[in-house]
């Protein structure tokens, strides 16, 4: 690690402050992220969390010699059971297909795989051992075939999410059940009826609750204390609060995660994404008509702790930016990168300030377009740090030049509608986007015609 290495600062949810990041072991930085529950295609909100992890791990790999990145797969869950039954397929077939799709979709967007990707169903023995430990230490109790964590026995419960136990109960949708001592107690293990997945345990045939798997798998692969735990802000409570409670009670000398990173949510056209609003977008929905790199770049437009508003105009802007960056790198091949310019590293070390990093890249593009080859090499290197500019300019523009007539006609119609709605920014963006792809629009008395430049 060079002396001039910039100091990485990261926001820590537990301390509620942006603080310098100091690894427990600079020779092996350890990161855990909560991965998908595998019953359906990943949506772009899921992607934002996976992308935040990706740029964080890419930066850590740039700064430190070795990083161990663990991201789990939740493959036992009531939603999986219900979906498999609704589809009329086996759970194994549903989870195997969904995992394949998840890997394909993330790879398309340039999200690198984790070093370890443990599956919950392969770590039941570790979960049972943790639950036994929690019962033995008085933090959990068995009732009617269930094992529950007793939140009243852990005084620090709520410290991570910053809510008092009373607020937590009022705010959370807590399941009231006769076998619970306290409404806020959460399930570590529950009985499984025949026909549902189940494992033999000291409490009968059953299956784990959701939270215990991350305590078990992070301990198995990263130890009692590790550097960074991350996920979407929706996981802060109750999931991460519960993980922390379990792990701190089992391993009181450890700290569990030293640093908690949570990304803000993603909106679509200013609204929370939901199936009922009709604005629910899977990664595949977006990639059907958008280059994957443009989706990736769009997700970097906002710093990870800011709410990101996903719009078509934002995707178009991302495409324009990539057109500009690829023009700037010109014939420089993807592997001809120079060192990553210090200003770009500094921006990323400023709590993953991707808007600032992209602004620095625009500055490099200015100089590269004016003929500065070093700036072009710097732009290539900055692209590698952010997982962008992974192809030759030729490949990027040829993919764009393959634009078909149906797509052009659809875009012309969309531009007409945008003008009618006085959305001139959108109309201009469509014209500029087509121009970048070698399609020139000409407005005349008889309407809009197009030609290849
Ligand atoms: Zn988790």
pLDDT digits (tens, 9 = 90+) for 302-323: 999 999 999 999 999 999 999 9
Task: Please say if the pLDDT value at position 166 is more than 80.
Answer: no
Q: What is the mean pLDDT of residues 229-237?
A: 96
> H or E element: which one contains 107?
helix 91-108
State the pLDDT confidence band at 58, using cuts at 50, 70 and 90. very high
Element housing 149 (H / E): strand 146-149
3-state secondary structure of 421: coil
Mean pLDDT score of the chain:
93
Ranges of H-type helices in 341-386:
342-349, 354-369, 373-386
pLDDT at 172: 56
State the distance from the centre of ligand 1 to the C-alpha of 240, rounded, in angstroms: 6
Range 169-196 average pLDDT: 83
Q: Does pLDDT of 329 surpass 90?
A: yes
Give Cβ neighbours of residue 158 (< 8 Å, ≥ 6 apart).
164, 165, 167, 168, 241
Rounded distance from Cα 289 to ligand 1 centre (Å) = 33
Ligand 1 geometric centre to CA of 74 (Å): 9
Q: At residue 323, what are phi and psi to the nearest 5 degrees?
A: -55, -45
- Which residues line ion ligand 1, judged by CB < 5 Å? 34, 214
Tokens 């023009």 locate to 327
Q: Provide the whole-model pTM.
A: 0.87
Distance from the CA of 288 to the center of ligand 1, in angstroms? Answer: 30
| pLDDT given for residue 426 in this prediction | 84
How many angstroms does the Cα of residue 244 sit away from the middle of ligand 1? 10
DSSP 8-state class, residue 7 = P
Please give the pLDDT value at position 446. 79
Q: What is the mean pLDDT of residues 213-233?
A: 98
* Angle at CA of residue 42, ends 88 and 75, nearest 5°: 55
Q: How far apart are alpha carbons 33 and 56 in whole angstroms?
A: 11
Q: In DSSP terms, which residues pair with 90 in a beta bridge?
A: none
Q: Is the pLDDT of residue 171 over 80?
A: no
- At residue 57, φ and ψ (nearest 5 deg) are -70, -40
What's residue 141's pLDDT? 98
Min mean pLDDT across 90-94, 166-170, 434-438 is at 166-170
Peptide bond into 106 cis (omega under 30): no
pLDDT in tens, 331-347: 999 888 889 999 999 99
- Tell me how far the alpha carbon of residue 219 lies from the centroid of ligand 1, in angstroms: 12
Query: For residue 1, what pLDDT is reported?
Result: 44
Taking the centre of ligand 1 as the mean of its atom positions, its distance from the CA of residue 90, in whole angstroms, is 25
295-309 residues labelled b (16+ CB within 10 A) or e (exposed): bbbbbbbbbbbeebe
Distance 214 CA to ligand 1 centre (A): 5
Q: Residue 238: is the preceding peptide bond cis (ω within 30°)?
A: yes
Q: Hey, what are 417's tokens?
A: 């509608």
In the reported structure, the alpha carbon of residue 34 is separated from the centroid of ligand 1 by a whole-number distance in angstroms of: 4
| 374-391 per-position pLDDT tens digit | 999 999 999 999 999 999
Query: Angle at CA 43, nearest 5°, toward 40 and 46?
Result: 105
Alpha helices by DSSP H, listed for 109-259, are: 124-136, 165-171, 212-222, 241-250
Q: What is the pLDDT of residue 5?
A: 78
Q: Are the CB atoms for 327 and 319 separated by under 8 Å?
A: no
> For the segment 31-46, what is each residue's pLDDT rounded down to a tens digit?
999 999 999 999 999 9
Tell me the CA–centroid distance for residue 87 and ligand 1, in Å.
Answer: 26
The C-alpha atoms of residue 78 and residue 176 are separated, in whole angstroms, by 18
pLDDT band of residue 327 (cuts 50, 70, 90) is very high
Instruction: Determine the Cα–Cα distance for residues 25 and 53; give it in Å rounded to an integer.
Output: 19
Q: How many CB atoms lie within 10 A of CB 167?
A: 13
User: Residue 267: which H helix or E strand, with range?
Assistant: strand 266-268
Q: Counting Cβ atoms within 10 Å, is residue 2 exposed (0-12), middle (13-18) or buried (19+)?
A: exposed
Beta-carbon contacts of 336 under 8 Å, excluding residues fewer than 6 positions away, are 377, 380
């Amino acid at each position: 690690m060079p002396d001039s290495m910039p100091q990485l600062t990261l926001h820590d949810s537990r301390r509620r402050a942006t603080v310098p990041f100091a690894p427990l072991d600079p020779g092996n930085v350890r990161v855990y992220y909560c991965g998908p529950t595998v019953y359906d295609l990943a949506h772009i909100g899921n992607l934002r969390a996976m992308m935040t992890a990706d740029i964080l791990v890419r930066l850590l790999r740039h700064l430190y010699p070795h990083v161990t990145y663990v991201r789990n797969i939740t493959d036992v869950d009531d939603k999986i059971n219900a979906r498999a039954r609704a589809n009329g397929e086996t759970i194994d077939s549903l989870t195997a297909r969904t995992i394949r799709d998840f890997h394909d979709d993330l790879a398309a967007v340039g999200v690198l795989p984790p070093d370890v990707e443990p599956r919950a169903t392969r770590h039941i023995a570790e979960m049972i051992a943790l639950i036994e430990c929690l019962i033995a230490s008085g933090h959990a109790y068995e009732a009617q075939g269930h094992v529950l964590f007793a939140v009243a026995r852990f005084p620090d419960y709520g410290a991570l999410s910053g809510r008092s136990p009373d607020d937590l109960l009022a705010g959370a949708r807590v399941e009231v059940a006769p076998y619970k001592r306290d409404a806020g107690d959460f399930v570590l293990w529950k009985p499984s009826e025949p026909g549902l997945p189940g494992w033999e345990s000291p409490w009968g045939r059953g299956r784990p609750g959701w939270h215990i798997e991350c305590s078990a798998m992070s301990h198995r692969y990263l130890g009692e204390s590790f550097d960074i735990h991350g996920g979407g802000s929706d996981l802060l409570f109750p999931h991460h609060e519960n993980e922390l409670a379990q792990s701190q009670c089992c391993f009181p000398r450890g700290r569990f995660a030293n640093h908690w990173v949570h990304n803000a949510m993603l909106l679509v056209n200013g609204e929370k994404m939901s199936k009922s609003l009709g604005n629910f977008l899977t990664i595949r929905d977006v990639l059907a008509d958008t280059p994957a790199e443009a989706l990736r770049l769009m997700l970097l437009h906002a710093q990870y702790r800011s709410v990101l508003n996903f719009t078509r105009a934002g995707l178009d802007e991302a495409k324009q930016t990539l057109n500009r960056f690829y023009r700037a790198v010109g014939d420089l091949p993807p592997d001809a990168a120079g060192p990553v310019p210090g200003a770009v590293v500094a921006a990323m070390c400023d709590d993953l300030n991707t808007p600032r990093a992209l602004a620095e890249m625009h500055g490099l593009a200015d100089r590269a377009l004016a003929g500065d080859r070093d700036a072009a090499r710097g732009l290539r290197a900055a692209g590698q740090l952010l997982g962008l500019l992974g192809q030759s300019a030729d490949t990027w523009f040829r993919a764009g030049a393959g634009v078909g007539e149906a797509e052009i006609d659809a875009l012309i119609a969309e531009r007409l509608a945008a003008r009618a709605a006085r959305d001139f920014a959108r109309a201009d963006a469509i014209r500029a986007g087509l121009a970048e792809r070698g399609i020139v629009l000409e407005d005349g008395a008889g309407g809009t015609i197009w030609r290849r430049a």
